[in-house]
Amino acid sequence: MTLRADLGAFLLIIGAAAAWALSNIVTRKAAPPDTLRFMVFLARGEPIHAVDVIGGVLVIGGILIGLARRRPAGRRHPDRGPCRGGNYA
């Protein structure tokens, strides 16, 4: 793994922890009179949110994979000269 990938993973974890903490703070500040009803209300939208999250993960993952496969311009294959199209084969 490269330092850039490790830093990206670290920042993703920090972002997830911050989002979780923020949701906990918002839930406490809401102070619903009936906590069970409030939690059921919040849980209703989960299938829709799950689709959004899965879609986002697929898009971001595709972008990251595409960036990881790029090679710097002008990189040369030892036997074939300049690399065109990102593949040596």
pLDDT per position as a tens digit, 6-61: 888 899 999 999 999 988 888 888 888 888 888 887 777 666 667 777 888 888 88
pLDDT at 55: 81
The rounded Cα 16 to chain-centroid distance in angstroms is 9
Q: How far apart are CA 65 and CA 68, in angstroms?
A: 5
AA identity, residue 15: G
